[in-house]
Structure 1
Amino acid sequence: MRIENSFIPVRGVGETTERRLWERGITHWDEFDGSVDVVGDALADRIETFIDEGRAHLERGDVSPFAERLPSASRWRLYENVRDQTCFLDIETTGLDASCDDVTTVSLHRGDETKTFVKGRDLTSERLERELEASSLLVTFNGARFDVPFLETCYDIDVDVPHLDLMYPCKQVGLDGGLKAIERELGIDRDMPDLSGRDAVRLWHEYERGDESALETLVEYNRADTKNMRPLVETVTDRLHAEVFDAARNKV
């Protein structure tokens, strides 16, 4: 599902009105012809203005205005428009408290490339800001409560890239639990499946004591989290597309 199928970012259009438009065959901005018999004159004018402004935003690859207007439960609709500019991010830390614990590694997967930055080497606020500024959409798993606040606290940055936290759309389609549990349920493979967050802390301390191989293992573990979010977001958005959009469109 693409942003151009969406009408709920318009003030006054809720899920019921959007579904009514879809059921009348107006499933894309191109198909909206000022249908006042469905929404009325004033709302039709707002929809037309939204469409005109929306096309300009999409031409620039800017989905932030839609992220601000979409209900949080519908933010998954952003992904298809900026698939190639989406940054999948995951961090490892020495604990759970950003006020006293450290970020040890940060991995970002965008396109076909994965980058990992390491504390004390190349993990800096400038590098993080540069990578995030190059992205149209940020995807994490539980990043709204953990990864993003941790980075903002430890590196004094503002993460203002439109953000899709996969944990919530996963719950919408009945996928509960942590990232690795969901991966197993969907048959998404990963190297070193038995490693956990506790192991990530242990590996970092082993590296600090001089074990370079421990850092290599930690980096591979961190990178797997980011790369595996790509097939996960594809699966989840496909399921939500079918449940939300196809179900209404099939009534046409």
Structure 2
Amino acid sequence: MLNNTYIHIPCIGSSTERTIWKSGIKSWDDFLINHGTLKTTKKKQRVLYSGVEESIEQLSGKNHIFFARRLLPCHQWRAYRQFEDKTAFVDIETTGLSSQSDSITIIGVYNGKETKTYIKGINLDEATEELAKYKQLVTFNGARFDLPFIEHEFPGFFNHLHIDLMYPLKNIGYSGGLKKIECSLGIRRSEETEGISGFEAVRLWNKYKKGDDESLEVLIKYNKEDVENLKTIIDMTYQKMVDNEIAPKDRKCAADLSQTI
């Protein structure tokens, strides 16, 4: 989707982007060849042409910061496929809901192959070194919860593209919490973690702090399933997100473009 996105170009809005899609242009390279067919002003064509050339160059160099700064948070999911190989799926556990008065107990990081778990009092400080390896983070409700906690714990670390799955999922009809959405998609939890909520996760941490090591093992497994399921969810729903982005105002355009974006 990223390589047929135009709303990150200064002075270009969603109506112009949709006009480009309706014209049948399927990618930035296609735009450079066929931009002259667009029904728009010469000035806007020049802005678009320059912006597309710059975007191709920045994507070729895998400059995620360029797109993180140019794309609104609600549109950063479009970059998922282009930065998939440098993506971390992230979830945290905490002692409560306030990033100012509570603290992180666990940070789980899944890169699509392995999950690493960082635990308060053991190795939590190593989490930022791991997160720095990636250009894109995927969370669920991370904009309001996970990232504020991480920023408070480790100020200034964040310069990533960020996909908060809660919002694009809601746009395609999946609302509610992560566990509800997992059920809607047929994703099952293990027997040990099925039914555990965020509040139960706090209780498990408190039991661990009182000497119950088994509670920590369950909490780690719960967190591990959280981050690994995030990848399963986005891989299952990404095409629907693309179709929905194009389809609402022009379903014929969606049929033509969704296989190429």
TM-score clears 0.5: yes
The letter of the residue matching 2:131 is L
Distance 2:147 2:27 in 1: 33
What's the secondary structure of 2:90's corresponding residue? strand
Q: Deviations over 1:225-250 (max 9, x none)?
A: 11000121123321121222463244
For 2:209, the equivalent position in structure 1 comes to 208
Which region of structure 1 is more displaced relative to structure 2, 234-243 or 130-139? 234-243
For 1:112, the equivalent position in structure 2 comes to 113
Deviation for aligned residue 1:82: 1.1
For 2:166, the equivalent position in structure 1 comes to 167
What's the secondary structure of 1:142's corresponding residue? coil
The letter of the residue matching 1:25 is G
What's the secondary structure of 1:38's corresponding residue? coil
Q: Structure 1: any 5+ residue segments left out of the alignment?
A: none
Distance 2:101 2:75 in 1: 35
The letter of the residue matching 1:230 is K
Distance 2:44 2:131 in 1: 36
- How many residues are paired up? 249
Distance 2:245 2:256 in 1: 12
For 2:14, the equivalent position in structure 1 comes to 15
| Residue pair 2:28, 2:52 contacting (<8 A) in 1 also | yes
Distance 1:168 1:241 in 2: 14
Q: Deviations over 1:177-203 (max 9, x none)?
A: 100011111111222221111221111
Q: Percent identity?
A: 37
Deviation for aligned residue 1:75: 1.8
Q: Deviations over 1:198-219 (max 9, x none)?
A: 2211111121122211111110
Deviation for aligned residue 1:114: 0.6
Which region of structure 1 is more displaced relative to structure 2, 26-35 or 112-121? 26-35
For 1:63, the equivalent position in structure 2 comes to 64
What's the secondary structure of 2:24's corresponding residue? coil
Q: CA RMSD in A?
A: 1.8
1:28-67 map, 5 Å: 28-32=27-31, 33=33, 34-35=35-36, 37-67=38-68
Distance 1:12 1:99 in 2: 37
The letter of the residue matching 1:164 is I
For 2:189, the equivalent position in structure 1 comes to 190
The letter of the residue matching 2:155 is D
| Residue pair 1:136, 1:161 contacting (<8 A) in 2 also | yes
For 1:239, the equivalent position in structure 2 comes to 240
Distance 2:65 2:100 in 1: 29
Deviation for aligned residue 1:57: 1.6
The letter of the residue matching 1:56 is E
Over 3 Å counting, the alpha-carbon distance change for 1:122 and 1:85 in structure 2 is: same
Distance 2:29 2:216 in 1: 52
Over 3 Å counting, the alpha-carbon distance change for 1:148 and 1:36 in structure 2 is: same
Deviation for aligned residue 1:251: 6.5
Over 3 Å counting, the alpha-carbon distance change for 1:99 and 1:19 in structure 2 is: closer
| Residue pair 1:141, 1:165 contacting (<8 A) in 2 also | yes
| Residue pair 1:25, 1:249 contacting (<8 A) in 2 also | no
What's the secondary structure of 1:111's corresponding residue? coil
Distance 2:255 2:21 in 1: 9
Distance 1:129 1:59 in 2: 26
What's the secondary structure of 1:35's corresponding residue? helix
TM-score (normalizing by structure 2)? 0.89
For 1:4, the equivalent position in structure 2 comes to 3
| Residue pair 2:169, 2:241 contacting (<8 A) in 1 also | no
Q: Structure 2: any 5+ residue segments left out of the alignment?
A: none
For 1:81, the equivalent position in structure 2 comes to 82
